[in-house]
Structure formats: structure tokens, C-alpha cells
Amino acid sequence: MATDRGRGAERVFVVQKHRASRLHFDFRLQIGDTMKSWAVPKGPSLDPSVRRLAVEVDDHPLSYNDFEGRIESGYGKGTVLLWDRGSLEPASPADRADAALARGYRAGRIDFVLRGERLRGAWRLVRMAGDEERPQWLLSKVDDEHADPELDPVQRYDTSVSSGRTLKEIAGE
Ligand code: MN
């Protein structure tokens, strides 16, 4: 239920691989009742020493989380593949997880834990200085048992977690 925002309500994340004018990964975290969104050109890295540019983009509705397919026109024209999905929690246990995540977002530092099919463990998003229309953040893997400098998830996984298809198959090429 949309009104059930108390402790115990599960928050979600999704990553959509999006081949538009440029290939990027749309990294979306549920904060409150919306999906805060970042476009990550190089995609996530499991190497804790690597920080990836994550450009904040428009919020998306939760109803978009399952989307996979072709965008025929307009902004984002191209093909979308559902690359990962799972649950999201703040890194520190909190009575009100939503409030903790929203506080981190406002402060420009979000420490969170993912339980997805491909991305797991602790992650961090840090907003860089500047107050632009499209704030730039850095996404990084926090060093834990799920970190792995040897495994490049972008190279390793090129299929959809929902349909098993590749971008080319979704595009009908
Ligand atoms: Mn996109």
C-alpha cells in the first residue's frame, strides 16, 4: 500500500541500462514515494577505489520500475533494459528508514545497502560542490564482502534480470 511508509515497508532500487543518444545506466533509489534517479555513464563498479560520475536526473514514478522496451520518441529515445532490481536500506539501522534516506539525499551523502540480483552490499552517493540544475554526484562501492575489483559488472552482465534479453533483442535488431 502506498500509504504504508512505516518501518518494515520495503524500499526498492532499480538499475535500467539505457541506450539513448549515449549509453548509460539509470540508477534509481526509492526515497519516499518517488524514485530518485541518477544517470551513470560508465555504470556501477564493484571496485571500492573507483568513483563513478552520477548525474542527477528527473525523479521517476515507482510504476516505471518494471519498464523495459523501446522509447520511440522524445527525450530518452532508445532502448531500456532492466539491468538490476532489489531492496534498498540505509546503511545505518534506522527506525524510519525513509527519513534516513531522505536526510542523506538532502545532505548530499547517501549511505545505503542494496540487495539486488547483481549489486549487493554497501554503496555511497556523494554530491559534489555546486548547485546546478543537474547536480553531479559520485557513486562508489563501499569496501565489504560484496566488493570485487576483479569483476566488472557492466562487462559481466548484459542481459535483463526480468526477460533475459540483451539490448539488441529488446530493440528487435
Ligand atoms: Mn536514461
pLDDT in tens, the chain (173 residues): 444 444 457 899 999 999 999 999 999 999 999 999 999 999 999 999 999 999 999 999 999 999 999 999 988 899 999 999 999 999 988 888 899 999 999 999 999 999 999 999 999 999 997 667 889 999 999 999 999 999 999 999 999 999 999 999 999 98
Instruction: Please tell me the distance between residue 76's alpha carbon and the centre of ligand 1 in angstroms.
Output: 6
Amino acid (one-letter) located at 30? Q
CB–CB of 141/47 below 8 Å?
yes
CB–CB of 75/57 below 8 Å?
no
Instruction: Please tell me the distance between residue 77's alpha carbon and the centre of ligand 1 in angstroms.
Output: 9
Question: What does the block give as the cell for 135?
Answer: 547536480
Instruction: Please tell me the distance between residue 39's alpha carbon and the centre of ligand 1 in angstroms.
Output: 6
Instruction: Please tell me the distance between residue 60's alpha carbon and the centre of ligand 1 in angstroms.
Output: 11
Instruction: Please tell me the distance between residue 79's alpha carbon and the centre of ligand 1 in angstroms.
Output: 9
CA 137 – CA 125 distance, rounded (Å): 6
CA 17 – CA 160 distance, rounded (Å): 9
Instruction: Please tell me the distance between residue 22's alpha carbon and the centre of ligand 1 in angstroms.
Output: 9
Instruction: Please tell me the distance between residue 171's alpha carbon and the centre of ligand 1 in angstroms.
Output: 15
Instruction: Please tell me the distance between residue 38's alpha carbon and the centre of ligand 1 in angstroms.
Output: 8
This prediction's pTM: 0.93
Question: What does the block give as the cell for 99?
Answer: 527519513
CA 15 – CA 25 distance, rounded (Å): 6
